Amino acid sequence: MQVMDSADQLAKMDADSLRTLAAALIEKVARLDSDNARLGGENRLKQLKIEQLTHEMAVLKRWKFGGRSEQLAGEQKTLFDETIDADLAAIELELDTLRGEPAAGSPKEPPKRAALPENLPRREIRHEPDSTTCACGCVMKRIGEDVAEKLDYTPGTFTVERHIRGKWACTKCETLIQAPVPACVIDKGIPTAGLLAQVLVSKYADHAPLYRQEQMFARAGPAIPRSTLGAWVGACGVRLQPLVDALRAVMLQCAVLHADETPVQMLKPGNGKTHRAYLWSYGTTQHDAIRAVVYDFAEGRAGRHAKEFLEGWRGTLVCDDYSGYKALFEAGKIHEAGCMAHARRKFHELWANHKSTLAKEALDLFGALYDVERLAAELDAEQRLRMRQLRARPIADTLHEWLTLHRQRSTDGTAMAKAIDYSLKRWGPLSRFLDDAAVPIDNNWIENRIRPIALGRSNWLFAGSLRGGQRAAAVMSLSQSARLNGHDPYAYLRDVLQRLPTQPNSRIGQLLPHRWVPGAAT
């Protein structure tokens, strides 16, 4: 009957109306085809990612349980195992996210855990419904409760949080209500945000490997296997990555950035050896209102790594004379600013090693420039630029004349000639700070952000994998940025891990270190 009605309506329509209807139908069909093609492409990309992660997981398991892992000796194998545990947990979490919730017919088997020690102090946290009045008007009765225990940690002390969720039922209509399970970074896990923050800060800020943390926890309370600690670290790395991505996006809005890199050994499990990888560091300047540093772990020192990180950015980059940065400046969208401390350092070596009087003359001129910078450090941008123009520029001109004169008198190939050549060839980038108040005089600000990582290498020796190095870079980005903004990394990460599961993506920027307010409501 409906088909006949539609046919009658079409018969009554004039030619223009039919053409309009046909065009609308064609447009709708084209739109549906476009949507189907887009969804098909998204599904293919998702499936490809799932296959890549599944393959990576298989390789990691083969390295962990296969004979090749036995080639590693002593501390190397211990550090490698905890990295593999973290990588496997991270991959499983990413796969769960890509695949969606498990099918109703095949629920995941909940993990079986040993009960938490009875001797630990316990703190009850009760979760009850907002209202215990049934929709039918009856007052519900409490018929029981569910109790979940989570292990909490404040530096030096273990405690147990007992989350008690009362069950309320209506005797008339048999309705049952219960407060929802509080959201956690690790779903159905026993660690609180405080314990997770302690593990992350100890590993990535205090550089204590997980096997040492296992020993320290055993002395303070329950023995937590390092494989469990590794799984926690891997899951936290995945959960924190969106926050690091947001921090990078904010940082790339700044007009001036620092960049530097430092070598880190990365293990090649296939042959039990390590090769040189690099931790690249990018940060805002001391003159910027935003205090942030973001680390990027890469397998090498090729310039493409810096190009990929700074993709789409325009501004001034403060860096050393490493050739890897040169390709960034060719298009003219990124301008180079040099490091006056690097230039000064070459003359300082001549003075310290050979007591060169010429080197001392150069050092005095460099020192005069830094005297002006110390006075200008607390000024606003306009005042700082004015002081640089009035006081620093004449000194810089004198230094340039001195370099030019003594280069003519120096023999090619000598240490003095090399020191002078470095400054003369880079004089444009070295003197850029004189014309831009936002540009610092040197790259020391970011070099100081790398120093804690360099000190920590004596403890953690190497990165166990590329994924492990990238996870370390993410957590260190947040903890170091928290320190730059005057926050205790433990307090910051504890609060962030507590709030992150319920924080809307549209407001994730509130959790960035330079915007974070302790205990603020989400």
**Among 313, 342, 334, 322, which residue's Cα sits nearest to residue 280?**
322
Distance of alpha carbon 125 from alpha carbon 294, whole angstroms: 37
Domain ranges of the chain: 114-188, 256-451
pLDDT in tens, 378-422: 899 999 999 999 999 999 999 999 999 999 999 999 999 999 999
Are the beta carbons of 496 and 516 closer than 8 angstroms?
yes
Half-sphere exposure in the Cβ direction for 467 (13 Å, CA): 21
Per DSSP, the chain holds a count of helices (H) and strands (E) of: 17, 9
Residue ranges, the chain, pLDDT below 50: 1-4, 68-70, 102-107, 461, 522
Q: Is 490 exposed, middle or buried (0-12, 13-18, 19+ CB in 10 A)?
A: buried
The amino acid that residue 443 corresponds to is: N
Q: What is the pLDDT of residue 257?
A: 97
Residues paired with residue 274 on neighbouring β-strands, in sequence order: 267
Distance of alpha carbon 121 from alpha carbon 125, whole angstroms: 13
Q: What is the pLDDT of residue 268?
A: 67
**Among 157, 146, 155, which residue's Cα sits nearest to residue 122?**
157
Q: What is the pLDDT of residue 209?
A: 84
Distance of alpha carbon 453 from alpha carbon 105, whole angstroms: 48
Q: What is the pLDDT of residue 66?
A: 58
Distance of alpha carbon 214 from alpha carbon 227, whole angstroms: 10
Question: What is the pTM assigned to this prediction?
Answer: 0.79
Q: What is the pLDDT of residue 185?
A: 87
Cα torsion through 249, 251, 257, 260, rounded to 10: -70
Q: What is the pLDDT of residue 105?
A: 35
Q: What is the pLDDT of residue 296?
A: 93
Q: Is 69 exposed, middle or buried (0-12, 13-18, 19+ CB in 10 A)?
A: middle
Are the beta carbons of 493 and 480 closer than 8 angstroms?
no
Distance of alpha carbon 230 from alpha carbon 79, whole angstroms: 10
Q: How far apart are the first and last CA of the chain?
A: 56
Distance of alpha carbon 273 from alpha carbon 268, whole angstroms: 5
CB count within 10 Å of CB 413 equals 7
